[in-house]
Amino acid sequence: MYSRIDPSPELRRLAELQAGVVTREQAVGLGFGVRGQRRMVDQGHWQRLSPGILLTHGLSADWLALAWAGVLRGGDTARLSGLSAAYLHRLIDEPPDRFVILIPGEQRRQSEPPWTFRRERPGVRRARSVGGPPRTTIEDTVLDLSDGGFPEAGRSALAWVTDAVQRRLTTVERLSRALRQRQRLAGRSVLAAILSDVEEGAHSVLEHRYLVRVERAHGLPRGARQVHAEGGRRQRLS
């Protein structure tokens, strides 16, 4: 195959879609050979982020570029999970320092900062990935974080569920469906109870505490904490 002297428009467009990151194989496939890649790196126009992973500019790699680099290093079916996925879904406001990337169980990748690769068992999560860079669905992300597999997350299962519902990223129904589809989940009964309480209207940690410690503990009638108003907005009733 003829190798171009400069990156092709197609390669530049691909890099733009991937936050400036491409793999060595992607560049070769779009006509820009290894020799040309090496020249771009030697001249300071490109950078090597990891073996076979290239950043197509000379500036510092931002968070999104590092996220893409990890996924591309993980392979075709790799996807972000945990706090990285939560940030991309806007479930959390600050980007994490570490990227946890799921890869198929039969693959192996050597972890190196800031990327940690985890092999996942088939059938635990839905195979579908969403977005770019690819990530677990919001429902699987919430279940992963709630199950204690990410101790650095620093939140309770209740907080993850209520935040996801309150931010309108998902619904109790969709989370319950994802929970039923999980083959293994250590905190299944706890999560099921939390989802039931959120369905009753406890859409925050404070409201859940009131429901459990006040209403139920003292046998009080169910409170109307939130109702739907015109236009789909929620209004609080005291």
Range list of H helices, the chain: 9-17, 24-29, 34-42, 63-74, 82-88, 138-146, 157-166, 172-181, 188-199, 205-210
Q: Convert the pLDDT of each residue in 97-110 to its tens digit.
A: 999 999 998 899 99
Strand 21-23 to 53-55 pairing: antiparallel
Residue 193 CA to residue 177 CA, distance in Å, equals: 14
Higher per-residue confidence, 103 vs 211: 103
Q: Which string of DSSP letters, residue by residue, matches 67-86?
A: HHHHHHHH-TT-EEEHHHHH
DSSP for residue 43: T
CA-closest candidate to residue 49, choices 39, 62, 32, 34:
62
CB 22 within 8 A of CB 47: no
Q: What is the pTM of this model?
A: 0.82
In terms of DSSP H, where are the helices of 75-156?
82-88, 138-146
> Would you list the domain boundaries of the chain?
9-55, 63-199
Confidence of residue 202 (pLDDT cuts 50, 70, 90): low
**Closest listed residue to residue 157, CA positions, set 99, 198, 126, 102:** 198
pLDDT in tens, 25-77: 999 999 999 999 999 999 999 999 999 999 999 999 999 999 999 999 999 99
Nearest alpha carbon to residue 147 among 117, 119, 110, 175: 175
